[in-house]
Amino acid sequence: MSNNTGTLATNDATPALAGVASPKGPLSGIASIRWGDYLGVAPFLIFAILFLIVPTLFLIIGAFQAPDGSFTLQNIYDLGTPQILSSFWISIRVSAASAFLGSLLGLAIALAIIRGRLPQTIRSTVLTFSGVASNFAGIPLAFAFIATLGRLGIMTALFKFVGIDIYRAGFNILSFWGLTLTYCYFQIPLMILIIAPAIDGLKKEWNEAAATLGATNTQFWRYIGLPVLWPNLLGTLSLLFANAFGAIATAYALTGSSLNIVPILLYAQIRGDVLNNPGLGAALALGMIVITALANVLYLVIRTRAERWLK
């Protein structure tokens, strides 16, 4: 980057050259790059390699290493212990439930504010609030829900006041449903933010065309609206799943270690090797990477397909 004027003179020509050359074919485009141009991208690439790619690969390799460094599948087999299997099962259930509820309720709210003929100010307020709420996660969110629906929470007291003891009825903020309900606080807004542009993409003309052909509102949604939104819905569902699956701070502050989800188990493992096997920790990490990566890849693939209709 600390180029002197000599190289600069040649650099001036590059943009114009690249602009002319690129339509001819990929090869001529590549030929017109100067190695100096990579210098600007180099810090980014070095950072990505050192602090994103290598650490992750290091863990993945570690999952297949015995304590003496030789190759083994034992760590992967050991994931089959009841403790680890049950933690994966709880994690998958919480993530799936919060993703499902989050996308359903998020869709309902997004449809209501965009197509429900509510005042314009409500729409922009909800979208702004969603931006805030989707970032309001982690420790403070757990505190807020303890103050609201914890054993001494305000809502709990309010329910008790009108004669409903939710804790006696089986509810507990430190449980599966408590965690799911808490996760929805950032899952629903995230859904609203992602699905709003897609709903905007449903053109008014489609409504009119369907109505002209005699379709009812229900028929419009059954045969046009939902099929067009469907890929987006599925994609966002997998994104929300991955989002919940990797989250730990909220669950940790909310439940301590009483709810044995995978990230909390991994946290305890990193802290103090509770599984008595460093290789197993790496295998646990590999399991998390595989599941979140699958969900994210699903999202990306579906999203590229979904964009066809919403140009």
Partner 1 sequence: MKSGKFWSWVIFALGVIYFIGPLIATIQFSLSIRRDGYSLDAYRNVFVTPAFQQSFSFSLLIGVAAIVVGLLIVVPAAYFVRLRAPQLRPIIEFITLLPLIIPPIILVFGYIRLYSSTSFLPLTTTSFGTDVLLILAYVALALPYMYRAVDTGLRTIDVQTLTEAASIMGANTLTILMQVIFPNILVAVLSGAFLTLAIVIGEFTIASLLNVQVFGVYMQNVGANRAFEPAALAVISFIITWAAMGMIQLLARFAPRNAVRTD
Q: Write out the binding residues for partner 1, residues 236-275 only, by CB under 8 A.
A: 242, 245-249, 252-253, 256, 263, 266-267, 270-271
Residue closer to partner 1 by CB (options 189, 235) is: 189
Residue closer to partner 1 by CB (options 73, 139) is: 139
Residue closer to partner 1 by CB (options 18, 166) is: 18
Interacting residue with partner 1 among 78, 79, 131, 309 (CB under 8 A): 131
Region 100-119 residues binding partner 1, contact defined as CB under 8 A: 105, 108-109, 111-113, 116-118
Distance CA 183, CA 101 (A): 10
Region 287-306 residues binding partner 1, contact defined as CB under 8 A: 288-289, 292-293, 296, 300
Min separation Cβ 15 and partner 1, Å: 5
Instruction: Label residue 276 left, alpha or beta by phi (over 0 means left) and psi (-120 to 50 means alpha).
Output: left
Residue closer to partner 1 by CB (options 88, 185) is: 185
Residue closer to partner 1 by CB (options 79, 289) is: 289
Distance CA 88, CA 163 (A): 37
Min separation Cβ 216 and partner 1, Å: 11
Listed ranges 71-79, 92-100, 125-133, 168-176: which one lies at the site for partner 1 (CB under 8 A):
125-133
Q: Return contacts of 290-295, CB within 8 angstroms, 24+ apart.
A: 291/92, 291/242, 291/245, 292/242, 292/245, 292/246, 295/238, 295/239, 295/241, 295/242, 295/245
Region 181-200 residues binding partner 1, contact defined as CB under 8 A: 184-185, 188-189
Count how many Cα atoms sit within 13 Å of the Cα of residue 153 in the half-sphere of its side chain. Answer: 21
Region 151-180 residues binding partner 1, contact defined as CB under 8 A: 152-155
Region 14-33 residues binding partner 1, contact defined as CB under 8 A: 14-15, 18, 22, 26, 29-30, 33
Residue closer to partner 1 by CB (options 11, 172) is: 11
Would you state the structure tokens that stand for residue 211, as one six-digit string?
């109505």
Region 218-237 residues binding partner 1, contact defined as CB under 8 A: none
Residue closer to partner 1 by CB (options 93, 123) is: 123
Would you state the structure tokens that stand for residue 288, as one six-digit string?
């998390």
b/e sequence 116-154, b meaning 16+ C-beta within 10 Å: eeeeeeebeebbeebeebbeebbeebbeebbeebbeebe
Min separation Cβ 75 and partner 1, Å: 14
Min separation Cβ 73 and partner 1, Å: 20
Min separation Cβ 290 and partner 1, Å: 11
Region 30-89 residues binding partner 1, contact defined as CB under 8 A: 30, 33-34, 37-38, 40-41, 43-45, 47-48, 50-56, 58-59, 62
Number of residues that bind partner 1 (CB under 8 A): 98
Min separation Cβ 134 and partner 1, Å: 10
* Single-letter amino acid, residue 157: A
